[in-house]
Structure 1
Amino acid sequence: MDPSKIMTPATGSIGSRFESQASIDEAKENKQKAWREAYARIGQEPPPEEPEEEYDPRTLYERLQAKKDLKKEEWDSKMKLSNQWRGIDSEEQRFLMEKDQEKKEEQRKLEERDAEELRAYREKQAAKASQPIDTPPATTSSVQPKKVIPTKPARKDVKSLMKGVVVKKKPKPSTKGTSSPTKPISPSVGTKRDAPEDEDTAKQKDGDEVEEKKRKLSVTDET
């Protein structure tokens, strides 16, 4: 750049401190020309020039606030519920249809199995209800009591029955006449032969009763 073209601080009035648009454009063209000549000397093509930013008359606060609002709008549109869902393609649709068909088939098999079990149960109950109930025949004859056969008493020997019976011999009358009165015979206690006459009579009666009972029993056995 030509050093003579460098702006120098104005020393005159206030109007001489500002540049016109023509001088700005001329300085820009001179700068681009010097840029191309420098790359031509080294044998390279100059890179494409970046477009200059347009002049924004807004203040810095206004420009930052505008950028913040723009980012907020982009975030809100991204997080909308309608943008979180997407449609399914044909492959996914076919897969879901196959799964739904398998589920319906399993449900149908389960229902058929339940219906079959219920039908078998009902048939079993109907067959059981149709069968006649076998009732045991009523026993009209009562249990006959066992006939008790009387046992024959063992015949006792007459000798064994008469054992212990003492028959007292009657005393013979004395032929000799004596003036002295006869002395009564007093029974002696503890001997069988000296038992009193009443005791002998009672025992004799007992023996007769025993014989009578034996005789009755023998007659009953014969009949």
Structure 2
Amino acid sequence: MSSGFISENEIAERRRLRQEEWEKVRQPHQPIEAPEEEYDHRSLFERLEEQKKKKELEYEETHRLKNMIKGLDDDEVEFLDLVDRSKLEEEKKKTEEENREIADFRNKVASLQEQSLEQRIKQEIRQPLKVNNNVKSTGRSSQVKLLAGAVVKKRPAENKNDFKENPNKRTKAESEELNKEGVDSEEQGSKSVIKSGSLTCIGILPGVGNYDISSDESDCSTDIEDEKVRFDLLGRRIK
């Protein structure tokens, strides 16, 4: 059993060993002699307590990561799988709804475009029909006006005998001449009407050409002749 005292020889031996170790690690700018050990004035209990705390801290540091990492139970794994499946189903439903809405929007746009195209085609079809009707009506009215304003030319005196012999033939010839003049003037008038509009027609109006004298036109021409020039039974003109 030691007494707890240290002899001088032991102190010298420790100093020598410390000097040898110092010589091994000493730098050129450091002193030659090894520095003395710092004296710890604390008691032995305090020193041991410090060592104990250091060991506990080291143990906690080494086992901290192990405590943080924990295995999952079967119930926890099933719960996480259920959560993942529910999320996937929700995302799938969302994508399906978006695709359905996009398809509906495209169908509506296509239907609206078709309707607008049909309306435009109908309008384009109606416009030329209206123009043709207007042109026909204007041509008919201009023909009546021209026939109403026609003046019968005087025949020479030598043809009076012919009129006495065949008055119907004369009236028929005059009506034909009036109709020809009315048709020519109608062609000129229809050309001017068509040029002033938005449509252009080459030649005469469609449906108007050289045709036989109708009953309406012959009646109109004979009425005009009766109003302008009248003859007695002998073929003399009544003023």
TM-score by structure 2 length?
0.31
TM-score by structure 1 length?
0.33
Q: Which has the larger radius of gyration?
A: 1
Relative to its length, the structure with more helix (as a share) is: 2
- By relative contact order (CA 8 Å, sep 6+), the higher-ranking structure is 2
